[in-house]
Amino acid sequence: MTIYTVRAGDSLYSIARRFGLTADQLIYANQLANPSRLAVGQALVIPVDVVYHRVTPGQSLYSIARYYQTTVGEIVAANPSITDPSRINAGQVLTIPFYDEMLGNIDVNGFAFTSIPESTLQESLPYLTYISMFSWQADEQGGIIPLDDQTIIAQARGARVAPMMAVTNTREGEGFLSSIAHAILTNAQAQDTFIENVIAALQEHNYYGLNIDFEYIFPFDRESYNQFLRRIVDTLHPLGYIVTTAVAPKISDEQMGLLYTAHDYRAHGETVDQVIIMTYEWGYTYGPAMAVAPIDQVRRVLDYAVTVIPPGKILMGMPNYGYDWTLPFVQGSAASVLSNTGAVTLASNVGAEIRYDTTAQAPFFNYYDAQGRRHEVWFDDARSIQARMRLVAEYGLAGVSFWTINQLFRTNFLVIQSMYGINKVL
């Protein structure tokens, strides 16, 4: 597999011909909504391992490498017959390699709502180790609102994907509530009830394990949360269940704030089986325009995380969405959420050129709407996904966790498949 960045004058058909593919293959791989309108700067996944190129008069290795967006060194390495890179002959057939860079095997978790389309679920399952059903909502008394997810669980298990029960301290229409977490963490009766309900749900729904996604915990409940996790693990491990947690993206233990303080990385790393670090939302709904998961910021989190959590327990969070901000940013204004494929479709429809920020390792573009307002859109493409996926091998992480898989983004899976094997625990 390789990634091709669309240039001015390119068409889908010329790109397909260049790599020996059909237009339909490119349309499918890249989920192109309007194949006749590519955006300059758009990244396309090219599902090929090798192309055979016949040299034409006047061509050099440099021009051929540029044509395929590869390097002279890669071509020379694949063609031992080239003894002098400055001299190639017309009519000579060269191997242009696009071999996958396999970096090992990883775990992949995907959070999913029960509303996930059937076709999206079926296409996603081969690329998953776990599917975490989101979410069972806990209340202050330790009760949990059940999910109607047993059909999805059966399909997951049939595909050797381990279903996880995700529990949150949320209430419909109100989001995460500190008060719910506080009650469960500090009230013995509520905690007993919660654990009883969790065990019953794990057994009834045939789950593989439990994911605890408690957020916005009061800072003074930090040690209570640590003790709660130890009790959960001591209770569920003997029953054969694994326990994972989701934590905010911290860069130090001293990082303050309702989202961060109570998430004790060291304690989680010592206690649970895996820790999902939510390495996204730097660019968020009510903030200024920027990449959702800029790689420089993700690195800062991982640099700290691996010092206190065993790297082999960490799943790096991967967002599966982008944002469209109206400029100039005004505090209190909200960006619009859009899918990664929707972002590219928008760029092509408005004639925007997609640019790539090398610091954030993320694509973005600007456009003007019908009211003359300037917009900025940040999203993910094959290049940004590939860049962050390399961090998994670099830091020795267990793998990644997608939020969420409800919107199919085929590029995610094609890039991962070109870099890693997917572990199956069933």
76 burial via Cβ count (<10 Å: 0-12, 13-18, 19+): middle
Distance CA 374, CA 303 (A): 36
Distance CA 327, CA 10 (A): 30
Pairing of strands 355-357, 362-368: antiparallel
Sign of CA dihedral 66, 67, 68, 72: negative
Which value, in Å, is the radius of gyration of the alpha carbons in the chain?
24
Q: Is 54 left (phi over 0), alpha (psi -120 to 50) or beta?
A: beta
Q: Which of 277, 294, 363 is nearest to 44 (CA)?
A: 363
Distances (CA, A) of 212 to 36, 143, 196, 202: 45, 15, 15, 13
Distances (CA, A) of 82 to 55, 77, 88, 282: 13, 9, 7, 48
Catalytic residues: 215
Question: What's 313's DSSP letter?
Answer: G
CB 246 within 8 A of CB 276: yes
Distance CA 342, CA 322 (A): 9
Query: Residue 286 is encoded by which pair of tokens?
Result: 């009510």
CB 215 within 8 A of CB 259: yes
Would you give the distance in Å from CA 152 to the centre of its chain? Answer: 21
